[in-house]
Amino acid sequence: MYDIPFHKTDISKLSFLITGGCGFIGSNIVEYLLKYNAGKVVVLDNVSTGFKKNIEPFLSNSNFSFIEGDITDFQTCKKACEGIDYVTHQAALGSVPRSVKDPIATHAVNATGFLNMLVAAKDAMVKRVVYASSSSVYGDHPVLPKKEDETGNPLSPYAVTKKTNELYANVFASTYQMEIIGLRYFNVFGPNQSPEGAYAAVIPLFMQAVINKTAPFIDGDGEQTRDFTFVENAVQANIKSFFAERKDAVNQIYNVAVGEKISVNSLYSMIAELGGSSVKPVHRETRAGDIRNSLADISKIHDLVGYEPGIKVNAGLKIAFDWYRKNFG
């Protein structure tokens, strides 16, 4: 992966902080930055939903360092931002159902933790902050494809926290003259996304079921659609956002997706075919807080940041399936 660089800037003298770097998307960003010899790469993570094994390959790299700490503690955020040029903030408690079950924990990490990171980044005068928002911000807005400035009411506590991030980012950009870019990820998948735990995402669960030849659950009728996005595309969006030069590209929010909608039923068929499984899925109740259909318009990030989703869903599923077979087969 990451055979083609997404940046032209010399990053060998630049320092990067990746919060949530032990997690799925964060560890992929770290892999990219170290592959292209970034000067300094720091991860801040409390290893709550992420894993030390995701950063193990980097521990021997002298450009890499790990701070085990919690973003709900402001002093920890402040220390992590010292001497940093670029921050990408990925740390959060993901999952809509988790937020429905425990909105207080989700708020503490996703909203208060985000605010801590913004203040710490401001105090350290970092050059730019990129952060993970989410397609959940579109909430009950019915129109497809989703365009950045047409959102509805959030449908879950998780979506409220991501909407809150966007509001704070906007205010910090104008009040403190910071450079901040928000990325609304649409169902990202790929290597390092865990199939374990109560809040695992659909693709890791389907991959594991196909490998083990067991029946996965599908929520509702399975005709709900998503814009599944291979993680290399999400990494590209982060790297290109760090270095986007156009003035009007900064202090914006962007969809990060492929621009293809696939139903959960078709997704399972694609993965079952990859693994040669003929096991039928089991349908169960629809989940609270879920949106029915999701598809991104990606023209804004294409036009302003130069993002092009290089890996389409099928190709991404193949790479991911090989990874799951190797690590969980």
Ligand X SMILES: NC(=O)c1ccc[n+]([C@@H]2O[C@H](COP(=O)([O-])OP(=O)(O)OC[C@H]3O[C@@H](n4cnc5c(N)ncnc54)[C@H](O)[C@@H]3O)[C@@H](O)[C@H]2O)c1
Closest to ligand X by CB, 66 vs 172, is 66
Closest to ligand X by CB, 94 vs 157, is 94
The residues of the shown chain that bind ligand X, judged by CB under 6 A, are: 20, 22-26, 45-50, 70-72, 90-94, 109, 113, 132, 134, 185, 187-188
From the CB of 161, what's the least distance to ligand X, in Å? 8
Which residue among the candidates 32, 86, 131, 158 is catalytic per the annotation?
A: 158
Closest to ligand X by CB, 17 vs 277, is 17
From the CB of 2, what's the least distance to ligand X, in Å? 16
Name every residue whose Cβ is closer than 8 Å to that of residue 121 and which is 6 or more positions away in sequence: 81, 84, 87, 129, 178
From the CB of 26, what's the least distance to ligand X, in Å? 6
From the CB of 77, what's the least distance to ligand X, in Å? 9
From the CB of 10, what's the least distance to ligand X, in Å? 27
131 as an active site residue: the answer is no
Whether the CB-CB separation of 151 and 279 falls below 8 Å is answered with no
Closest to ligand X by CB, 133 vs 277, is 133
Residue among 64, 67, 172, 153 at smallest CA distance from 114:
172
Tokens for 1?
A: 């992966």
Closest to ligand X by CB, 40 vs 184, is 184
Whether the CB-CB separation of 192 and 28 falls below 8 Å is answered with yes
Catalytic residues: 158
